Structure 1
Amino acid sequence: MTATRHRAMLLPAATVLVGCAAAGVVLAADPTSDAGFPLPPCPVKWLTGLDCPGCGATRMFYSLLHGDLLSALHYNAAAVVFIPFFLWTWGAWALGRWRGRRIPTWEQWRWSPLVGLVLIAVWSMIRNLPFPPFNALYV
């Protein structure tokens, strides 16, 4: 591996290290119970009482780290669905840095921003509806 490739891979390696550190904090904190040290609450939920699109993501991440997919889906189903897209984007970015040229990903498709915003808006609305079956999405 050349020195240029070493330098190019420093940032992807740093993101992996930060991700591992974040996973360690979430595992130590145990956001699903009061046993771990407290993590800051979601400001949207704290101020309005409503679930934002990201509410439950820390508990979802904790559940995924423990291999509990059903609990992860309960805490934030949208985030679970988006994880493969985020991993695809990260992998293409890291591979592009390795090869020295950009790799096309879903985020460059024409309708991706609009579709993403609409999905997030719809998720925000349906998870706050106060009647079945939608009230099961409230965390």
Structure 2
Amino acid sequence: MQDSQVDPATARQGVRRLGAPVAVAATIFTVCGFVAWADPTTPGGVIPVCPTKALLGINCPGCGSTRMLYSLLHLDIANALRYNAVGVAALVLLGAAYLTWTRGRLRGRKIRGWQHLPWAPAVALTVTVAWFVVRNIPFEPFTGLRV
């Protein structure tokens, strides 16, 4: 076989390896398209209010995430950070994890990323709980974190 020819079995294996990352990318693209269309920054729109906020009157750690994503899609970083700063950081980390996972799938072996570090789950849980508590403290400057 010449160097310029690709073995069909190798090509099929490469397509199988990329099946899951392509499915995840398609899902992300679909969700982003829906959020861009739905415009969660307009009250009374298609996307409902967070159940935690509606039922309990407090902000959950994810409150503002849809508006944050909408703002990021419109390259409005300041508003994205205002809606959910921890969510912006989480998206950066998830993007890095996705790229590491995809690169590992392409190479046919697992590549360790930040999410495989032994302390990563504890840090993620601690940051999430702290964000939940801090953004619900009922006096300034913490009330500025509410959305």
TM-score category, normalised to shorter length: over 0.9
Alignment of 1:84-99 (within 5 A): 84-99=92-107
State whether structure 2 residue 33 is matched by structure 1 residue 24.
Answer: yes
Structure 1: stretches of 5+ with no match in the other structure: none
Q: Which runs of 4+ in 1 moved over 3 A?
A: none
> 2:59 and 2:104 mapped to 1: Cα distance?
36
What count of residue pairs does the alignment treat as equivalent? 138
1:56 aligns with 2:64: yes
Gaps of 5+ in 2: 1-9
So what's the TM-score if we normalise by structure 2? 0.89
Q: Deviations over 1:5-63 (max 9, x none)?
A: 1111111111111111111110111000137x411221211211110000000000000
- Taking the aligned partners of 2:52 and 2:43, their CA distance within structure 1 comes to 21
CA distance in 2 between counterparts of 1:73 and 1:122 reads 17
Residue 133 (structure 1) aligned with residue 137 (structure 2): no
**Aligned mate of 2:75, from 67, 71, 74:** 67
Match of 2:49, SS? coil
